[in-house]
Amino acid sequence: MTFVTTSRRAPQDVRRCAKELAFAAGCEYRTRGKSGLKDLNAIDETFFLFSWTGNNARLQIFVQMVEKLDMVITHLFVKEREDLFQKGLFISDRNLAEIIGAYVPVQYTPDNEHILSFDGRQKKRYHLTGTRNG
């Protein structure tokens, strides 16, 4: 089963966002500890890696040790959810939706101003903006 993890010493906000992304995508969240990429690949061949680089977060997807997505997250907005909970990931970029949709359920929402949105627990809604590398 696909899982989500973070870099080894990720800030609390990045870990929280990774846990909520796992919840929204129906994946498992795993603490990384001292595990390297080969160790993570031994658990499952497909995993999402959240990390912190400089002033930005980064989201990567690895499949059989090959990076399928590298996205720099320039803004992360968390706000109180005022409407009903919606399960899944909502993506406004068609190419990104196709890439992520190959591994977890997504919904393409072209009218969304944020590239990736999802509902977490405790009435929180997460909105991420960023750019893909490569």
Domain that holds residue 46: 3-132
Per DSSP, the residues of 21-82 read: HHHHHT-EE---TT--HHHHHHH-SEEEEEEEETTEEEEEEEETTEEEEEEEEEEEEEEE--
3-state secondary structure of 19: helix
Q: Are 7 and 49 in contact (CB under 8 A)?
A: yes
| Number of separate domains in the chain | 1
| 133: confidence class by pLDDT, cuts 50, 70, 90 | confident
Q: Output the domain CATH number for residue 49.
A: 3.40.50.10480
Residue appearing with tokens 């320039």: 74
- CB 73: neighbour CB atoms within 10 A? 21
pLDDT in tens, 70-109: 999 999 899 999 999 888 999 999 999 999 999 999 999 9
The whole-model pTM stands at 0.89
What mean pLDDT do residues 39-53 have?
A: 90
Is residue 8 scored above 70 in pLDDT?
yes
